[in-house]
Structure 1
Amino acid sequence: MRNALQEQLLKAGLAKKSKIDAVAREQAKQRSANAAAPSAEQAEAERQRREKAERDRQLQAERNAQARIQEQRAQARQIIEQNKLKLEGDSDYRFTDGNAIRSILVTDSLRKQLAKGSVVIVRFDDSYAVVPRAVVEKIESRDAGMIVVDHGRGGTAGGGEAEDEYYKRFVVPDDLVW
């Protein structure tokens, strides 16, 4: 599409059609080159936008991970609440939780089940609960840190076979309660 001046020059014979087309193509190239080459400010703004988008993705991934952890802890807590055994008895069962020695009241049959590993002590809110072995895997898959005492696991936590041989020399009475 030509402007009025170009039309007048063509009618007057002062310009050729090919020359006007060449000038129009050149002007179109210059316009597209100006639009394609962003200025330094535009490039900086684009870089900042990409960095912000990346930070936002990382923050969202962290939030999603935290939400997943909270959800798994809530599921473990719900499993414990549904399966916990009633803690009542006349004797204390002492165990270590980290660096502290804790105790719960148990009956003699529950004490024997704890020793065999058929029941396990787990953290429940600010206290402890006893749950059957059947639900331990479910709890452990969601939050292994909730399990405090589990005598049913194979092996010892310490030095292994050599240490076991050493301690076999010392006989511990069956009625020992600490």
Structure 2
Amino acid sequence: MSKSLQEQLLKAGLGNAKKLNAIKKEKHKERVQAGKNGVVVNEAAILAEQSRQAQIAKDQELNRQKTEALAKKALAAQVKQIVELNSLPHKGEIAFNFTDGTLVKRIYVSEKVQQQLVKGLIAIAKVAEQYHLIPIQIAEKVQQRLPEAVLVLNQQDEQLPEDDPYADFKIPDDLMW
């Protein structure tokens, strides 16, 4: 009831001043108790808090993504430095074919380097769209940090099956695939 309506009812004799004061006191007590118990529902405050929480979550996600991107960038720089510092010279006349994703690439190497590639003593790594020959120990370190950087890493399986029917036959040196 609005104040003017309450006054009108009192003037008309339909209400009692004592009852009106008792109702006012009761409402005042309810408001005070609700305030003490924290039950006061303020929708604007709730919406503001929800908005603030949503913004905090969004900011945390953006920070996580930025941290992840920086970590990847630092890892790529570390791999690039390792590969470039340990890169082996590979100029030669023998073509060595390998795959880079779905493409077949060719690198020209010496006969000694070709044998080392086949035996798994040397690996091929790709850094900044360039191919580098690196020792197997370095390739394993690079592969731990950034697996997609190492393209060719032949693992030697020295254990041949005991019942290999072709064990007595030697592969010719001049055989080119």
TM-score, shorter chain, exceeding 0.5? yes
Matched, 1:79 2:79: no
Given the alignment, which residue of 26, 32, 35 partners 1:33?
35
Match of 1:109 in 2: 112
Question: Are 1:136 and 2:135 matched, yes or no?
Answer: no
Stretch moving more, 84-93 or 44-53: 84-93
Cα distance in 2 between the residues matched to 1:31 and 1:154: 80
Q: Deviations over 1:3-37 (max 9, x none)?
A: xxxxxxxxxxxxxxxxxxxx9xx88x839818943
Identity, % of aligned positions: 25
Q: Tell me by how many angstroms 1:103 deviates.
A: 0.7
Q: What is the alpha-carbon distance in structure 2 between the residues aligned to residue 101 and residue 78 of structure 1?
A: 26
Contact 2:90 2:113 in 1 (8 A): no
Which AA in structure 1 matches 2:88?
Answer: L
Contact 2:98 2:105 in 1 (8 A): yes
- 3-state SS, counterpart of residue 92 of structure 1: strand
Q: What is the total number of aligned residue pairs between the two structures?
A: 144
Q: CA deviation digits over 1:41-87, x for unaligned, max 9?
A: 11100011011101111111121112111111111111000000012
Do the aligned partners of residues 92 and 122 (structure 1) sit closer, same or farther apart at CA in structure 2, a change above 3 Å counting?
same
For structure 2, list consecutive stretches of 5 or more residues without a partner in the other structure. Answer: 1-24
Letter in 2 for 1:100: L
Distance 2:68 2:173 in 1: 47
Counterparts in 2 of 1:82 and 1:39: CA distance versus 1, 3 Å: same
SS of equivalent to 1:86: coil
Q: 1:150 to 1:79 in 2, by over 3 A?
A: same
Secondary structure of the 1:87 match is coil
In 2, Cα distance between equivalents of 1:66 and 1:94: 33
Unpaired segments ≥5 residues, structure 1: 1-22, 156-160
Which residue number corresponds to residue 11 of structure 2? none
Aligned to 1:65: 68
Matches within 5 A, 1:1-178: 30=32, 33=35, 36=38, 37-152=40-155, 173-178=172-177
- Name the CA distance, whole Å, in 2 between partners of 1:77 and 1:49: 42
Residue range with higher mean Cα deviation, 78-87 or 35-44: 35-44
* Residues 1:139 and 1:63: Cα distance change in structure 2 (over 3 Å): same
Structural RMSD (CA):
3.0
Measure, in 1, the Cα distance between the counterparts of 2:127 and 2:66. Answer: 25
